[in-house]
Structure 1
Amino acid sequence: MSPPVFTLQEAKTKLTNATREAVTSKNVKHLLTVFNQVPGSENEKKVTLDQVFRGVLEEEIINQASCDNCLAIISLAINGVTEGICTATTPFVLLGDVLDCLPLDHCDRIFTFVEKNVGTWKSNTFYSAGKNYLLRMCNDLLRRLSKSQNTVFCGRIQLFLARLFPLSEKSGLNLQSQFNLENVTVYNVNENESTLGQKQVEDRDDGMEIEEGEMGDDEAPNSSSIPIDYNLYRKFWSLQDFFRNPVQCYDKSSWKTFLKFSEEVLAVFKSYKLDDTQASRKKIEELKAGGEHVYFAKFLTSEKLMDLQLSDSNFRRHILVQYLIHFQYLKGQVKFKSSNYVLLDEQSLWIEDTTKLVHQLLCETPPDGEKFSKMVEHILNTEENWNSWKNEGCPSFVKERPSDSKPQKVARKRPAPEDFLGKGANKKILMGNEELTRLWNLCPDNIEACKAETREFMPTLEQFFEDAIEQADPENMIENEYKVVNNSNYGWRALRLLARRSPHFFQPTNQQFRSLPEYLENMVIKLAKELPPPSEEIKTGEDEDDDDVDNESLLKETNESPEVQQLKPVTGVLIDSLASKLGEQWKTLAPHLEMKDSDIRSIESDSEDVKMRAKLLLVAWQDREGVHATAENLIAALNQAHLNKLADSLACDTDNIT
């Protein structure tokens, strides 16, 4: 009698009923019994149960059931993975479905469940299968949340990711020390529209410096002593652009502006002391007792709030701490900082003196000014340790423990002649050491031992490039700087392996690659197309058509990448043509070609003819850039210098020569 055949519809019906009963009873035993009774292979039943879980969860979401039922289904899936009746990715797929379909107030409860089970997600059973799902799920949730209105929820998500991934996980590190240039502080740049300017005119007409009774004595003590005008307002908020992008301070003109504005703002802070009387202390104690917490989602830059902001100790601390962070970057040694970013001796001395002044102002700012200043200093010193760790390449924090067991001394025994000469036909050759003797006598013929299959240590292409292929998939949202192809050690081993196992390594190609990571990225795309797809055990029930579409889009995006396309070098004919058209505008183009002031002065001293100076500029740029001196880069520099007509002319000349 033949064994019963697996029937999808019958198995799906039985498992669906068993799943609903298990959700109601919150016990996986009945579902486990039905799973074992259903005929078919383990893989067939697992895939079916994965679909059943998603179907039951979909019914609960459509019926607008409570979050408890959804969480019960996810908990049941976790137990199913532990019992081995469903795939390890199923709970993460269910979590993604719930968070995508439910509103944000329900997502808060679901995410609380995710936080409580962080220990489960970090276990060996779930971590490797679900880390990418959790990262993608959290990123999707952050896109839906408002940074100003859902600040606490966003912070919980960030803390969860910090607990989930190890410290050495580079995807969560700002390795290249990049700045958030999108964080722009908007303020009124038109003095005519400023209420401060209008107020000054009214005060002159009325013969008064400030109107009395605008605010209470407790809110703004001694506010009449603050010289608030539009100039102070403009200079104060202009400093936020320097804090946003500290690299500007390495430019001489920008540094002068920053120096002037900072001295005026700090002079106001120094001359205007905040109230530290018994009444103000009592008010602060009342706020602490009430559990109120002050939070600034984003600076409010209204002119009407300027006097209140200068009278607020929290706001003043924000600005002063920004100064300390700014100075730490300017003085610090950052691995990815350009070699041109060097402070002069005068700048370093000013920063040291101003740092002392900022700490003094923090100590004078109530409440607990000295305690707050020491705490900030300690945090910044700790930040230096993190900076040094990143400069060293982020070495692992895990250290192997030394063995506690001490080797026991063994009494030496005088060997007999037969011990080292061997006995009988199968004579054993003794090497004077037990381990060497064992290794030498593993095989009678050492040449044959070297040819054994067990000594094949070279990995297959599929094993070695598994991580690279996974990271190349756009769905995983891995940023370029965190991909393994950018690791120089990985690239060296990848080239050796491709030379031994891949025919693509020796095939001629017309594509020109600027660097090894670009070549490996292109090779990974080819291997991903040829290697077999992942096994069905890691499938999550999603349509296979979606994976094909993702692979096709990945190949399409990579083939269309402008970095892989062949670039056109700048020839002598193009340089002569552009130099004659550039003329007196060569000095406008020079900064966008990253030419130093000393190089510009050298060009001016070499020739008085403007066309010759333009040619010397282009030749100097070509010699410095080498193979990167392409027509595309030169056209981009012309557009940045607002020489658009010359850029279009150069593009036409390049096409005609080609």
Structure 2
Amino acid sequence: MSPPLFSLTEARSKLTNATREAVIGKNIKHLVNVFSQLPGSENEKKLTLDQVFRAVLEEEIINQASCDNCLAIISLAICGVTEGICTATTPFVLLGDVLDCLPLDHCDRIFTFVEKNVSTWKSNTFYSAGKNYLLRMCNDLLRRLSKSQNTVFCGRIQLFLARLFPISEKSGLNLQSQFNLENVTVYNVNEQESTLGQKQVEDKDDGMEIEEGEMGDDDASTSSSIPIDYNLYRKFWSLQDFFRNPVQCYDKSFWKTFLKFSEEVLTIFKSYKLDDTQASRKKTEELKVEGEHVYFAKFLTSEKLMDLQLSDSNFRRHILLQYLILFQYLKGQVKFKSSNYVLLDEQSIWIEDTTKIVYQLLSEIPPDGDKFSKMVEHILNTEENWNSWKNEGCPSFVKERPVDAKPIKMTRKRPAPEDFLGKGPNKKVLMGNEELTRLWNLCPDNMEACKLESREFMPTLEQFFEEAIEQADPENMVEKEYKVVNNSNYGWRALRLLARRSPHFFLPTNQQFKSLPEYLENMVIKLAKELPPPSEEIKTGEDEEDEDDEDNESLLKENNESPEMLQQKVVTGAMIESFANKLGEHWKTLAPYLEMKDVDIKEIESDSEDVKMRAKLLLVAWQDREGVQATPENLITALNNAQLTELAETLTNDTENCT
């Protein structure tokens, strides 16, 4: 009996009901069970489920459901891709449908979902299948949005694309260094229609006389300081055409026009400098507090605003920054620039001089002009690196291994404990350096070494309070102000010592002390009654120091012998040759007690089959590793630990005979 054939109508009906239940319950398990029970191939069922997702989403959009239901369906499709019941492009198709059908205010919320799942889109499952869908979806959104009204939304889309695609993605690069020639600045080109020349005539016709002092200080300084006429207005806004298309500057006639207009505009900027007045500082601080951001979508070219624009610091920074960007292009090496576009020497000199003037003007514009100027210079210097990268064809930042290269062996970054811990009973730690190894292994147990009496630095009560007790005795007639208990440093150490060694510190008392010296003096009197009187046999500080010096010298003599002395005690080649013959077949028993690793033991076995030669190789390897620590005493200790007492006695006798 043949298996049942795939029925599109039946499959669509079952999958539709299961999808609606999954959206309501926010659980995909039932949908996966229905999918697995349907007859037919996996490809047929996947394509059917893709259609079902789009149909269910279409119903939600037509019924004007909330964005939550739409996002729930898209999330279900993402889970479906993970479970392998629908194609990887389905979530992106659903996102495109939603953004195409919903108004812009709802698209903002849908795009927030897209931003939050950027890590999902960049995963191996979704990236290759959906990157083109996401790019097309974002470009469609940008076409619908207004750059002046929806500035923040447009910026979010650009940032999302920057996070999604790698830096070397060619679709986001202006490889041929093309300019946006459609960005045309419209201004009044008819002098007869200009209102700048009619301003004084209108003031006279009004017949109104303005008394001195009626005009505000800001208006007076703005209108009288800058002589604005139509020629200045026309020349100023004509420069925007050069900023829009810098290639014109390579033409001699256009360059003369640009040079003339620029000198006049920069002269105006140099002659009329903006002041960091109290009012402007107050306004800037208010904007910082309120978190407002001033955005200029496009220059306003009204003649009535000309005087206000020239006195606006933000506007002036825009114009000067355009100059710097233009100069960088004219001087820079651009791969797709025509070979005819070459600057003359006089042009290069003028650009260098003017660049210094522009930076100087930027540093004089309040607020924080000097900081802003340095920041712009740093950004433009960084831009040179990007220009060089584009000229080289935008190579990938990821260095790929050559095809014919040998595979890299995986090595452990951090050594395992067995690499530096010995295998003998003493577990000698190998520090990689002879002196460090010797110092580390002075005491087998580091915790026991920390508990030694020689590391007890806390003085006794008798030693510490000896001077204070003497000063507290009335017979010694020490004035109060000269007593050691008045020293704050001494008081702090005295409290710590009392807390560790004196029971009086924790006993309750009815006395109230106003100061620490008063409390310590009381404690000193109590201790003087309990402690035995100092005898003549008590050593002075100098005697104690001398004794400590003697102990240190003896310790140095024991543990820090000179290299020459250690070199005289090491085993010699003749001793190794003689003892290897006696060791013979017992070499493998001794090896672990000489801190030899399994790898070294196997290597010795592979080098020779003669047991005497293996014993010699073992002793030589031990000598090379230990260096000056390869002494007969250490070898005898290892033999005794390995229960090779006869060989240990033999080596002891040989050593005594040699000495």
TM-score (normalised: structure 1): 0.60
Measure, in 2, the Cα distance between the counterparts of 1:210 and 1:164.
62
CA displacement, residues 167-192 of structure 1 (integer Å, 9 cap, x when unaligned): 11111111111100000000000011
Measure, in 1, the Cα distance between the counterparts of 2:229 and 2:40.
82
Structure of greater Rg: 2
Q: Which residue of 1 aligns with 2:290?
A: 290
Letter in 1 for 2:236: F
Q: Which residue of 1 aligns with 2:344?
A: 344
CA displacement, residues 244-277 of structure 1 (integer Å, 9 cap, x when unaligned): 0001111111111001100100111111111212
Q: CA shift at 1:163, angstroms?
A: 1.3
The RMSD of aligned alpha carbons is 2.8
Q: Does 1:405 align with 2:411?
A: yes
Q: CA shift at 1:204, angstroms?
A: 7.7
Distance 1:212 1:105, change over 3 A: farther
Q: CA shift at 1:279, angstroms?
A: 3.1
CA displacement, residues 602-655 of structure 1 (integer Å, 9 cap, x when unaligned): xxxxxxxxxxxxxxxxxxxxxxxxxxxxxxxxxxxxxxxxxxxxxxxxxxxxxx
Q: Which residue of 2 aligns with 1:74?
A: 74
Q: CA shift at 1:230, angstroms?
A: 0.6
Retained in 2: the 8 A contact 1:221–1:311?
no
CA displacement, residues 206-248 of structure 1 (integer Å, 9 cap, x when unaligned): 9999999998545784431111111110000000000000011
Measure, in 1, the Cα distance between the counterparts of 2:203 and 2:266.
26
Measure, in 2, the Cα distance between the counterparts of 1:211 and 1:165.
65
Retained in 2: the 8 A contact 1:220–1:308?
no
CA displacement, residues 67-115 of structure 1 (integer Å, 9 cap, x when unaligned): 1100000000000000000000100110111111111111111111111
Q: Give matches, 1:221-236, under 5 Å.
A: 221-236=221-236
Secondary structure of 1:197's aligned partner? coil
Q: CA shift at 1:3, angstroms?
A: 2.5
Measure, in 2, the Cα distance between the counterparts of 1:33 and 1:81.
15
Distance 1:273 1:403, change over 3 A: farther
Q: Which residue of 2 aligns with 1:260?
A: 260
CA displacement, residues 98-140 of structure 1 (integer Å, 9 cap, x when unaligned): 1111111111111111111111111111111111111111111
Q: Which runs of 5+ in 1 are unaligned?
A: 417-658
Distance 1:395 1:210, change over 3 A: farther
Q: Which residue of 2 aligns with 1:583?
A: none
Q: Give matches, 1:636-647, under 5 Å.
A: none
Q: CA shift at 1:337, angstroms?
A: 0.7
Distance 1:2 1:244, change over 3 A: same
Measure, in 2, the Cα distance between the counterparts of 1:234 and 1:146.
29
Q: Does 1:364 align with 2:364?
A: yes
Retained in 1: the 8 A contact 2:222–2:308?
no
Q: Which residue of 2 aligns with 1:275?
A: 275
Retained in 2: the 8 A contact 1:220–1:311?
no
Q: Which residue of 2 aligns with 1:475?
A: none
CA displacement, residues 492-540 of structure 1 (integer Å, 9 cap, x when unaligned): xxxxxxxxxxxxxxxxxxxxxxxxxxxxxxxxxxxxxxxxxxxxxxxxx
Distance 1:314 1:190, change over 3 A: same
Higher relative contact order, chain-length normalized (CA < 8 Å, sep 6+): 1
Q: Which residue of 2 aligns with 1:114?
A: 114
Retained in 1: the 8 A contact 2:324–2:355?
yes
Letter in 2 for 1:198: Q
Q: Which residue of 1 aligns with 2:483?
A: none
Secondary structure of 1:196's aligned partner? coil
Q: Which residue of 2 aligns with 1:89?
A: 89
Measure, in 1, the Cα distance between the counterparts of 2:83 and 2:76.
10
Q: Which residue of 1 aligns with 2:432?
A: none
Measure, in 1, the Cα distance between the counterparts of 2:287 and 2:276.
15
Q: Does 1:37 align with 2:43?
A: no
Retained in 2: the 8 A contact 1:210–1:224?
no
Distance 1:403 1:227, change over 3 A: farther
Measure, in 2, the Cα distance between the counterparts of 1:32 and 1:342.
67
Retained in 2: the 8 A contact 1:359–1:373?
yes
Tell me how many residue pairs correspond in the alignment. 416
Measure, in 2, the Cα distance between the counterparts of 1:211 and 1:21.
81
Q: Which residue of 1 aligns with 2:26?
A: 26
Measure, in 1, the Cα distance between the counterparts of 2:14 and 2:303.
69
CA displacement, residues 11-45 of structure 1 (integer Å, 9 cap, x when unaligned): 11111111011111111111111111122211111
Measure, in 1, the Cα distance between the counterparts of 2:345 and 2:207.
48
Q: CA shift at 1:283, angstroms?
A: 2.0
Distance 1:213 1:78, change over 3 A: farther
Letter in 1 for 2:411: S
Q: CA shift at 1:280, angstroms?
A: 2.2
Letter in 2 for 1:234: R
Q: Which residue of 2 aligns with 1:199?
A: 199
Letter in 2 for 1:329: Y
Q: CA shift at 1:63, angstroms?
A: 0.1
Letter in 2 for 1:405: T
Distance 1:262 1:404, change over 3 A: farther
Greater CA drift, 25-34 or 187-196: 25-34
Measure, in 2, the Cα distance between the counterparts of 1:114 and 1:73.
14
Measure, in 2, the Cα distance between the counterparts of 1:162 and 1:88.
22
Measure, in 2, the Cα distance between the counterparts of 1:141 and 1:296.
22
Retained in 2: the 8 A contact 1:22–1:31?
yes
Letter in 1 for 2:339: S
Q: Does 1:317 align with 2:317?
A: yes
Distance 1:5 1:257, change over 3 A: same
Measure, in 1, the Cα distance between the counterparts of 2:286 and 2:181.
39
Measure, in 2, the Cα distance between the counterparts of 1:415 and 1:168.
58
Q: Which residue of 1 aligns with 2:379?
A: 379
Q: CA shift at 1:405, angstroms?
A: 3.5
Q: Which runs of 5+ in 2 are unaligned?
A: 402-407, 414-598, 610-659
Q: Which residue of 2 aligns with 1:335?
A: 335
Secondary structure of 2:196's aligned partner? helix
Measure, in 1, the Cα distance between the counterparts of 2:239 and 2:221.
25
Measure, in 1, the Cα distance between the counterparts of 2:115 and 2:210.
54
Retained in 2: the 8 A contact 1:203–1:210?
no
CA displacement, residues 572-597 of structure 1 (integer Å, 9 cap, x when unaligned): xxxxxxxxxxxxxxxxxxxxxxxxxx
Q: Which residue of 2 aligns with 1:7?
A: 7
Measure, in 1, the Cα distance between the counterparts of 2:213 and 2:189.
28
Q: Does 1:176 align with 2:182?
A: no
Secondary structure of 1:184's aligned partner? coil
Distance 1:40 1:210, change over 3 A: farther
Q: Does 1:131 align with 2:131?
A: yes
Q: CA shift at 1:278, angstroms?
A: 2.7
TM-score (normalised: structure 2): 0.60
Distance 1:209 1:132, change over 3 A: farther
Measure, in 2, the Cα distance between the counterparts of 1:146 and 1:211.
47
CA displacement, residues 348-371 of structure 1 (integer Å, 9 cap, x when unaligned): 111111111111111110110001
Distance 1:206 1:73, change over 3 A: closer
CA displacement, residues 390-437 of structure 1 (integer Å, 9 cap, x when unaligned): 011111111359877399999798899xxxxxxxxxxxxxxxxxxxxx
Measure, in 2, the Cα distance between the counterparts of 1:300 and 1:214.
29
